[in-house]
A and B are shown apart, each in its own frame.
Chain A
């Protein structure tokens, strides 16, 4: 089973890889929020072009990016089916009693452009640093500790969870189980999933014991030594400037 490693290309070298994590997160979040608030198709197109350029500059292979965004593309595709049929407006085309509106299509396109741009921006933002650096940056940005712990443990134990699922699947296959479209498969898969939850619960207790035995009292402190320098501020300024230009472009187009 494929391991969801967002930081698979964190070892590369690019202007984003050398960027201080806090500055990078804040700048990209600003750009993402700006893009999510765009209401103009041309501005959204510009946002998408900018996102593609930033992914290119990050050095992360487009193949990896597009593969990771497959589900997003499928989700976005739904809007092209739903919106033209449900939003009233100028008729784009008519097939029998089904009418598709231009306004609906435009809204779907706007949503798709914004969603894909944001999806793409996640890669230069998070994919260019190891995941623990993202967590440390979030911690230093005063994100609630509980939330950081939840993200950290989810990411850390996702690999264990997947490994355990893989082992259990092999165990079923070793005893001649084959997935079919029948009730038996459904029942066995249900059992596997419930066993995963039980094991997950037991493991949680063991991890908590291990944490408590080393003095854990609910708060997680992490040492982070990253420092901001002039280059980081310069990179942040460029991204924020690009975001502001996108925002102001709505007055031009």
Chain B
């Protein structure tokens, strides 16, 4: 499988002097689902913002062979769909249709094609009924689904989700997990919902103080209670119970 994201020596310092990223090196393959975990302030969101070219400073980021630089930004933003944590920030247009059409219009698609992709994206997230509704009148779960549709309409190769299950009720969260499972594109999911990451991502990257602390199989990383404790995280309860049993199974395989 080919590499769709290649990060070399990525550094980022915020204007207040906070050193958010310290020499990050990463490769992500096409079709992979990668969980990005870490305590608050670990640099997860800062790293994600680099993948869409919103932040740029020191180091090299390549998206599908394109170096992250001014001339390639449009192409990169077409390839990378970013779903922000708070849907209030993602949904800024007056109606659901306008919000989902925002990206495709900026991609200079023809008017008819824009309508087609909007319908397809809304259908994919089961929200076609809300096409004419006003974005700020939707429930939180609905807003979250529309947020995902706003990037799906751009047919991205890579989907980035920052804390996708934050503030969702259990039913909406389950719906989101099932939906993301069906999506076959490359996914990077950052957050503290470790059970969601366990269910969706075969690989996880643990970030702390701007550095990659661990990178590997999600189940193995999340089951390592020492590693988790050391970085202000907790082994998900579903792993606590049958950790020993599953590790034995894995070893025997």
Report whether chain A binds chain B. yes
* Interface-centre pick from A130, A155, A215 (highest chain B CB count, 10 A): A215
| Contact in complex: B103, A209 (CB < 8 Å) | no
| Contact in complex: A156, B106 (CB < 8 Å) | no
- With both beta carbons as reference points, the residue of chain B lying nearest to A203 in the complex is identified as B89
**Interface: B111 (CB within 8 A):** yes
**Interface: A150 (CB within 8 A):** no
CA distance A132 to B97 in the complex (A): 11
- Kindly supply a per-residue 1/0 record for chain A positions 188-232, scoring 1 wherever the CB is within 8 Å of any chain B CB and 0 otherwise: 000000000000000100110111111111000111000000000
CA distance A3 to B102 in the complex (A): 26
- Kindly supply a per-residue 1/0 record for chain A positions 156-187, scoring 1 wherever the CB is within 8 Å of any chain B CB and 0 otherwise: 11011000000000000000000000000000
**Chain A interface mostly:** helix
**Interface: A110 (CB within 8 A):** no
Known A-B contacts A131-B94, A203-B89; A212 and B136 likewise in contact (beta carbons under 8 Å): no
**Chain B interface mostly:** helix
| Contact in complex: A214, B151 (CB < 8 Å) | yes
**Interface: A97 (CB within 8 A):** no
| Contact in complex: B136, A222 (CB < 8 Å) | no
| Contact in complex: A213, B77 (CB < 8 Å) | yes
- With both beta carbons as reference points, the residue of chain B lying nearest to A158 in the complex is identified as B136
| Contact in complex: B103, A223 (CB < 8 Å) | no
> In the complex, what's the smallest C-beta–C-beta distance from A165 to chain B, in angstroms?
14
Residues of B within 8 A of A209 (CB): 49, 54, 84, 89
**Interface: A153 (CB within 8 A):** yes
Determine which of B90, B107, B134, B154 lies in contact with A210 in the assembled complex, contact meaning CB atoms within 8 Å.
B90
**Interface: A31 (CB within 8 A):** no
CA distance A159 to B92 in the complex (A): 12
CA distance A140 to B68 in the complex (A): 36
Residues of B within 8 A of A203 (CB): 88-89
Within 8 A of A (CB), among B27-68: 49, 52, 54
Determine which of A210, A215, A222 lies in contact with B92 in the assembled complex, contact meaning CB atoms within 8 Å.
A210
- With both beta carbons as reference points, the residue of chain A lying nearest to B105 in the complex is identified as A221
| Contact in complex: A156, B92 (CB < 8 Å) | yes
| Contact in complex: A213, B52 (CB < 8 Å) | yes
Within 8 A of A (CB), among B155-194: none
Determine which of A206, A212, A214 lies in contact with B154 in the assembled complex, contact meaning CB atoms within 8 Å.
A214
> In the complex, what's the smallest C-beta–C-beta distance from A61 to chain B, in angstroms?
21
Chain A residues at the B interface, C-beta cutoff of 8 Å: 130-132, 135, 152-153, 155-157, 159-160, 203, 206-207, 209-217, 221-223
Q: A132-B95, A160-B88 are in contact. List 9 more A-B contacts (CB 8 A).
A: A132-B93, A156-B136, A159-B136, A203-B88, A209-B84, A213-B77, A214-B151, A216-B106, A223-B97
Chain B residues at the A interface, C-beta cutoff of 8 Å: 49, 52, 54, 74, 77-78, 80, 82, 84, 86, 88-90, 92-95, 97-98, 101-103, 105-107, 111, 114-115, 134-136, 150-151, 154
Q: What are the 10 A-B residue pairs with the smallest beta carbon separation, nearest first?
A: A215-B106, A132-B94, A214-B103, A206-B89, A213-B82, A213-B52, A221-B105, A210-B90, A159-B136, A207-B89
